[in-house]
Amino acid sequence: MTTLLSSYRLGELTLPNRMVMAPMTRVRATADGQATPSMATYYAQRATAGLLVTEGVQPSLIGQSNPGTPGLHTDGQTASWRQVTEAVHTNGGRIFAQLMHGGRVSHPDTTGLPPVGPSAVPAVGEVFTPTGPQPAPTPRALETHEVPEHAESYAQAARRAVEAGFDGVELHGASGYLISQFLSSNANVRTDGYGGSVAGRIRFAVEAAAATVDAVGAARTGIRLSPGGTFWGVQETEVLELYTALLTELARLELAYVHFQATAGDPTLIALRRAWPGAFIVNPVMPMGPKQTDRVAADHWLGLGADLISFGRAFLANPDLVERLRTGAPIAPIDESTLYAGGDAGYLTYPTHQHAAS
């Protein structure tokens, strides 16, 4: 019988359990996008997860969405991540870097560059900048000949990730960022081969994944998706057709996994599970919604065919979440005021259950 604490073979890795720490932005990097000793401690504290996926890491300067986030596009950034991967591996863990190109969800005050997107359509809402939230600017629409270099940026960052000691990478194809923008039917109003039809809208995602597989291998490449999600104002038409077509193309690449957010109802996600022949990760609650993933939600999706379950906020306040779920210990709440506050408070200061009880 499959349980949350059963082992699982993922690509070339043997995971001791089926719990994945979901990628979560914490804005604790240096001003030039380098990982820090505190980040190494943070991930190492949570290394009992079957798999850790880092916060979003920008694959290029123009791909940076928020200030304070780390990158993988300079030699200094690459070197800085070695302390993280070494700490996780020393603690017996496995870690993928999530590669996140923000696309239109960025600002010149953050990068010094005008943001780009599939079309000149601004995101809905305010974006974070060094001086505080500002209205999302209108991005510059990428010319057709420019699109491949942005797909290739994921592959270049993936090479750096492997050089830095990561076990693999996850392409951030969800939550309204660049890959998601290309999948969208309102952020992407292109009339060339990267827009319009379902085949056109999935093309960028497929090319980014294919370039990454060529760079580091299929066993080291996953992708996160949010079917029907409306983050930053994206909308998608023909959701089931769109994602079934995308999974069909990604299956040819034999990716290590797909990682779905519960932005669509169970019937849609179950249909996508049936359409995907490989490892299927589900984050079973609405991102940033009122409910956190718990054992009940995890067991529900394991019963529906998921192979692995990702936990977000529960892992922030519970570095020993695996042990807490194994023993039935209480799950500590997060301090939301420290999520993006910088510093070690609310980052490294959550105790294990044993310490909390002493």
| 331: phi then psi, degrees, rounded to nearest 5 | -95, 120
- 3-state helix/strand/coil string of 282-336: EECCCCCCCCCCCHHHHHHHHHCCCCEEEECHHHHHCCCHHHHHHHCCCCCCCCH
Sequence-distant contacts of 129-136: CB under 8 A, at least 24 apart? 129/67, 130/67, 134/107, 134/109, 136/104, 136/105, 136/107, 136/232
Known catalytic residue: 347? no
Which residue is catalytic, options 177, 194, 257, 350? 177
Q: Which residues of the chain form beta strands (DSSP E)?
A: 8-10, 13-15, 19-21, 51-57, 95-99, 116-117, 126-127, 134-135, 140-141, 168-173, 221-225, 257-261, 279-283, 308-311
Query: Using only C-alpha atoms, what is the Rg of the chain?
Result: 19
Active site residues: 177
